[in-house]
Amino acid sequence: MRFDILSVVPGLLDSPFAHSIVKRAIQKNLAEVFVHNIRDYATNKHKTVDDSPYGGGAGMVMMIEPVAACIEKLKSEREYDEIIYMSPDGELLDQKIANQLSMKGNIIILCGHYKGIDERIREHLITREISVGNYVLSGGEIAAAVVVDAVIRLLPGVLNDETSALSDSFQDDLLAPPAYTRPAEFRGWKVPDILLSGNTPEVDKWRHEKSLERTKQRRPDLLKGEENS
């Protein structure tokens, strides 16, 4: 799977892909992540990528020309399944969207900056808009890193335990159950006996019940028909 991320501040993405699970996925050749500096596609000597908005108003807007040039250059080299714009206006990222994207091959992610991008980019070049929450960030880089991380960890072979991602929160519209590890007792705080029993069916039943209980308490909006199952 390949991600091409377009940014006017590419340095913001140095760290997220240089560590942990994403780094291992790249080293295993299970995923590729390339960051492109939109300024490289600017046409003037100052590498300008923004201008004041038509009609007046505060802030600057990302110009259409360098963004279009970058996207078109990439599209001339390979086909892309999605061209995503990270935007507060977009559909809210959830596990279902991450699952969908993990089935794709090549994805472009455009990171916004300033007061946003020229609307014509959204109208003619973008295929999907995604938000990571109902708030505004200084730019789309952090949001893009969230999407890439959420998707790459789902790819076969990325996690050491192939079943790990299947038990993540939200995979079945439930929050993950409580988790414990050694020691079995600390300061009088004990691990539930069922988890020490070795009875796998009962452990699975307990985990499902705890997932349902936790979801009812903390995220009842996630529940549909689960309480009747």
Q: Does any domain span residue 107?
A: yes
CA distance 153 to 72: 28
Please check whether residues 114 and 14 belong to one and the same domain.
yes
40 near 67, Cβ under 8 Å? no
Q: Does any domain span residue 134?
A: yes
pLDDT at res. 162: 57
| Apex 38 CA angle, 158 and 44, nearest 5 | 165
Query: What phi-psi label fits residue 116: left (phi over 0), alpha (psi between -120 and 50 degrees) or beta?
Result: left
Supply the range of the domain harboring residue 106.
2-152
Q: Does any domain span residue 118?
A: yes
pTM > 0.85: yes or no: yes
Side-chain half-sphere exposure of 45, counting CA atoms within 13 A? 0
Please check whether residues 173 and 148 belong to one and the same domain.
no
pLDDT (tens place) for every residue of the chain, 229 residues total: 999 999 999 999 999 999 999 999 999 999 999 999 999 999 988 999 999 999 999 999 999 999 999 999 999 999 999 999 999 999 999 999 999 999 999 999 999 998 899 999 999 999 999 999 999 999 999 999 999 999 999 999 999 765 555 555 566 788 889 999 999 999 999 999 999 999 999 999 999 999 999 999 999 998 975 544 4
Please check whether residues 142 and 183 belong to one and the same domain.
no
CA distance 41 to 70: 6
Residues facing 186 on adjacent strands:
189
Please check whether residues 21 and 98 belong to one and the same domain.
yes
How many angstroms from the chain centroid is the CA of residue 216? Answer: 25
Please check whether residues 19 and 109 belong to one and the same domain.
yes
CA distance 29 to 26: 5
Separation in Å, CA 4 to CA 65, 71, 146, 208 = 18, 9, 14, 38
What is the full DSSP assignment across 25-52?
Answer: HHHTTS-EEEEEEGGGG--STT---EEP
Specify the number of domains making up the chain: 2
Q: How many residues does the chain have?
A: 229
Q: Does any domain span residue 75?
A: yes
Q: Please give the structure tokens belonging to residue 143.
A: 């949001």
140 near 8, Cβ under 8 Å? no
Q: Does any domain span residue 162?
A: no
